[in-house]
Amino acid sequence: MPAPSVTAHPGASAFARARHGPWQPARGGLHLGEWAAELVGTAILVFGGLSAVVADFGAGSPVAHVLPGTSPRLLLTGALFAGTGALVTISPIGRRSGAHLNPAVTLGFWLTGHVHLDDLAGYVAGQVAGALVGAMALVAIWGPAAASVHDGVTQPATGLGEPQAAVIEALMTAALVLTILVFVSSTRTMRWTPLAVWAVVTVLVWQGAPYTGTSLNPARSLGPAVVAGDWHAVWVYVAGPLAGAILAVALKRLVLPDVIPLTAKLFHLAGDRPTSLGHFPRAVHASSD
C-alpha cells in the first residue's frame, strides 16, 4: 500500500520543508482534551487578569496608595494581566492546547493552516466558556470591588466613537497576533514567544487601555459582558480583534512571505504530547533543544 501523501504547508518554501521535515497538517475531529485545556486556561487568564484590574483600580485599592498615578497602575495591570497568560502558556494546561486563550489567535492560526475547522469551533467555544467561568469567579470572589470596575466590562472611552474603538482594537490585536506568528516561525525564537507576548500585551494595556480598555480578545470581553448583562459596544471587542487577526495574517503574507509558522503552540517542550495542530515536527522538537 502506498504511503499517504502529506499536505504541504500553504506558502511553505522548499527550503523550510527540507529543513524541518514534512508538514503535518491540522487534524479534524473531537479533541476534547485540547478544548478543555483552552477552557481552563482562559478561565484562569480572565480571572487572574481581571483580578489585577480590581486590585489596581477597584474601590479601596491598596495599590492606589502606593501608585497614585493612573499610568503606572496601567503599566502594572498590563504586566500582571499578561503575566497571567504567560504562566498559563508554559503550564501543562497551556502546553496541551497551545495556549491560544483568545479566538483572535486561533483565527490567525486557522488562516495560516495550523488549525482545522473543527478545532477553530472547539477552541473558540472553550475560550468563550472559560471567559464566562473566569468572570463569574471574579464577581463571586471580589464582590463589590469587582462591581466598582463594572465587573471588568470593556467599553470605549467617553468621547471615542465605537467604530474608532474597533479600529484601535484591530490594530492592537494585529500587533499581538503578528508578534506570535513571527516568534513561532523560528526554532531560535519560538521558546521566547510567551515572553514576547507578555511584553507586547503589557505595553498595549499601558498605552491602549485609556481608549478601549485593551481587550485584544473577544472571549475576554464577552465573559464579563454576559455576567454584568451589559452588551453596550460589545461588537467592538468581537469585530475589532477578529479583524486584527485577519490583518496580521495578511501583513505577514505581504511583508514577510518567507516567515512560516512552524507550530501553532505558543510554548513547546520536547516530550510534549502531539496535538491536532499543524506543525513541522522537527522544528517543534528543536524548539526545546
- Provide the domain limits for residue 75: 25-286
3-state class (DSSP) for residue 179: helix
pLDDT at residue number 49? 98
Name which residue leads in pLDDT, 15 or 227: 227
**CA 182, 83, 177: angle at the middle one, nearest 5?**
25
Confidence of residue 1 (pLDDT cuts 50, 70, 90): very low
In the beta sheet, which residues pair with residue 279?
24
Per residue in 224-241, pLDDT tens?
999 999 999 999 999 999
Q: Would you say residue 75 lies in a domain?
A: yes
Number of domains in the chain: 1
Question: Residue 100 sits in a domain of what CATH number?
Answer: 1.20.1080.10
Question: What is the DSSP-derived secondary structure letter of residue 271?
Answer: T
Residue-level pLDDT at 283: 79
Q: Is residue 12 part of a domain?
A: no
CA 145 – CA 55 distance, rounded (Å): 8
pTM: 0.94
The pLDDT tens digits of the residues spanning 53-92 come to 999 999 989 999 899 999 999 999 999 999 999 999 999 9
Place of cell 483568545: 102
Q: Is residue 35 part of a domain?
A: yes
Reported as a pLDDT band with limits 50, 70 and 90, residue 274 is confident
Asked if the structure places residue 128 within a domain, the reply is: yes
Give CA angle at 244 (243, 246), nearest 5°: 65
